[in-house]
Structure formats: C-alpha cells, structure tokens
Amino acid sequence: MISAAAVAAAVADDPWNNADLPLDPRDRKEAVQAVDTWLDHMISTTTPLVDRMAWLWHGHFVSALDKVKVARLMVDQLRMFRSAGLGSFADLLRGVTLDPAMLLYLDGSGSTGEHPNENFGREVLELFTIGLGGYSEADVKSGAGALSGWRVARRRGVAEFSAAHHDDTPRTYLGQAGVHDVDTVVAAITSHRALSGSISAMIAHELLGSSEADVVDALAKAFSDSGLDITALVRAALTAGLDGRSQPVVLAPVPWLVIAQRVTGAAIRPKVRLVGLRTAGQVPMAPPNVAGWPGGAAWFGSSTVVARANLAAAVADAAPHDNAARVAADGDDLTRLATALGLPDPSFGAASSAALAHAKAGVQRLALALCTPEFVLA
C-alpha cells in the first residue's frame, strides 16, 4: 500500500501548468490539453494508485466540462481528488461540496437561503453518499438550505461565501438537530449509519468486481473502525482481492488504454486517442450524466468494442520495436507475450491462444492481445 509520504510526493508532482489553463471558457483547446496531460501522467506515473483513486472519485463525485465550461476548474477538482482521494472521507466530502466545478455543475453557486437549489442536496445523498432509502425529501430541503450562500467567483476560480445569502437557521437533517452549514451537513452525512456500507459497496464493485454481502460488510467495518479513512478502506479491499474475494472487472476504456500504453510504451497522437475514447464512450471530464459512466457489460457494446480494437491497433502500431510486448508479439511464445503485458496469470486461455496463433506476428498479434478477455478483464 502506498505511504502517506509517497502520496504527498505524488500530489506535489502536479502534471498541469496553470499558465496553460486560463479561467476562460471560450477556448476549447485548454480542455483537450488538460485531458491529454492527465492521460499521459496516468501512463507515466510511478505512483499509479493516487491517480487510480482520483479517476475513481472523478466517476463518483461527478462533474462535467459541458456545464462547468472552464477546464481549469475541472483540473482543480482533479487536483483535489488526487490530494484527498486517499485521506479522510469527511475531508474529501467537504472538498467536493465547496469545489467550484461541483458548485457550477449541480447549481450550488448562487443558491440562496430564500431560494435554495436542491440539486446538490439531493445527489449528495442519493448518488454520492448514503444512497436511496436513507433520506427523506425533508432532508433534501434541509440540506439545500444549510448549503446556501456559496457562489463561484469565476474570474478567480474560487468559491466564496456570502452570509447575506445564507439561511443559518438550525434544522433537523438526517436525524441530526442543529444542522445549519457545510460542516454540520458533512458531519451528519458521515455519521449516518448507511454511509460506510454505501461507500464500501462502491469500492468493492470498482476494485473487486464484487457485491457479496460479507465482502462489503468486512470493508464497511474496516472503513468505519478507521474513522472513515479511505486508505484503510482501499487496503481492506486489496487484501480481500489477494485473499481471492474478487471477481473479474471489465476495464473501462480509459484505464484499459492507460494500461495498454504503459505496458507497450506506445505514444499515440492526442487526436487519435481522444477520438478513439469518445467513440468508445469514455472521455475524462465528459461523463454522460450525474450518475457517471456505466460499467461492466455496458463496455461490451458493439461501438465500444470496435473503438477499443481501433485504439489497440494504434497502440500496437506505435509500440517501440524494442518494447518487451512488441518483441514477444513478433515471436510465437504466447506465455512470453502474456508476461510482457503484465497478465496476473502469464498465459492466455484456449480461445485467445488459438486466435493469437493465427494472427500475423508483430503489430496485428499485439493489437489482438490487447483486446483479449485476459487483458480487458482485471
């Protein structure tokens, strides 16, 4: 498990340059560059867990560039996920609640005590924390009022609080009395009995491909006992995986492509990569809706499969000739190829082996290997 010092060092290694990201929504080049920079960093980083968790939270606490408009604000949100994504869940939730991109995406910016907007107040309960059945409509309204008074100062890209536009009336929220502001909302959510189980179920699904009750319960206990420390939760999940309590996880297009480029050393043109990911249905900063990207079998749709094959061909074609995977693909030793691709079981199944044996050695065989179930399933 990554140490606190390694996390701090990884966060300090910020891939983005603010000079390239002005707070101006008019030029879309910044968005393309910001996405491309993060993808390149995910491929080259020596601490991949930091960005893997940032990616996980990016798909959980959803915001999208089409509404936020400013790439810099989305990048600042990703920075927050990188710095807080393995720390205290309470701190992460507070950061999300006051994040400028989130305030714009779910209409918290400009929400007033007189006219509170309920969008974030609803989604933070339903999708982001405790889940359906754990709250009432009265809780949504109470939360919206308690979170009122915040706005985004767009020219500076920061969240600002206006006491004059905030309703500071103490109210009952999730069974807690006296809730009136961001901190008391976060405290009520993080003390709710459903929180640890809900977040643990999401982590189990994302990292282990499991929804088994005993696995989720064990993760929830570790999470709760740690005081909602995300590192403790991830450690418990990885330990469960090492103990054989995982199921195959279908790699979504972005993590699949990151791994494919990392193991092959391929550098593909930004436009090819972005178009390929868009066709495959997954581009960073562009989730389809507030629920995020689909998962599992949804990635076996015909358009996604074709797009993945095209991306695999581009990766294989760009792989350096001295890369271990490319060298192995030039030969007939499929075990060597599996090992070079980093497969946990250094072998392909019978069907994949037969297909690879009939593929032309070199680029074609490597591209096919990147599309096999053994590589697509983690």
Q: What is the pLDDT of residue 18?
A: 86
Average pLDDT score over the chain: 95
For the stretch 259-279, pLDDT in tens is: 999 999 999 999 999 999 999
For the stretch 14-45, pLDDT in tens is: 999 887 888 877 667 788 899 999 999 999 99
Query: Among 72, 76, 62, 67, which Cα is nearest to 123's?
Result: 62
Interatomic CA distance for residues 197 and 79, integer angstroms: 26
Query: How would you label 45-62 residue by residue, b for 16+ Cβ within 10 Å and e otherwise?
Result: bebbbbbbbbbbbbbbbb
**What is the DSSP secondary-structure string of 101-145?**
HHHHHTT-TT--SSS---HHHHHHHHTSSS-TTS--HHHHHHHHH
For the stretch 172-204, pLDDT in tens is: 999 999 999 999 999 999 999 999 999 999 999
Extended strands (E) in the chain:
150-153, 158-161, 171-173, 176-179
Greatest CA separation found in the chain? 72
Assess whether pLDDT exceeds 90 at residue 128: yes
Assess whether pLDDT exceeds 90 at residue 49: yes
Interatomic CA distance for residues 277 and 283, integer angstroms: 6
Which residues make Cβ contacts (< 8 Å) with residue 214, sequence separation at least 6?
none
Which residues make Cβ contacts (< 8 Å) with residue 160, sequence separation at least 6?
150, 151, 152, 153
For the stretch 312-368, pLDDT in tens is: 999 999 999 999 999 999 999 999 999 999 998 888 999 999 999 999 999 999 999
Interatomic CA distance for residues 79 and 231, integer angstroms: 17
298 vs 181, higher pLDDT: 181
Count of alpha carbons within 13 Å of 371, Cβ hemisphere only? 23
For the stretch 241-254, pLDDT in tens is: 999 999 999 999 99
Which tokens hold the place of 30?
Answer: 């910044």
Q: What is the pLDDT of residue 1?
A: 59
Which tokens hold the place of 38?
Answer: 């993060």
Angle of CA points 11, 86, 77, to nearest 5°: 60
pLDDT grade, residue 378 (50/70/90)? confident
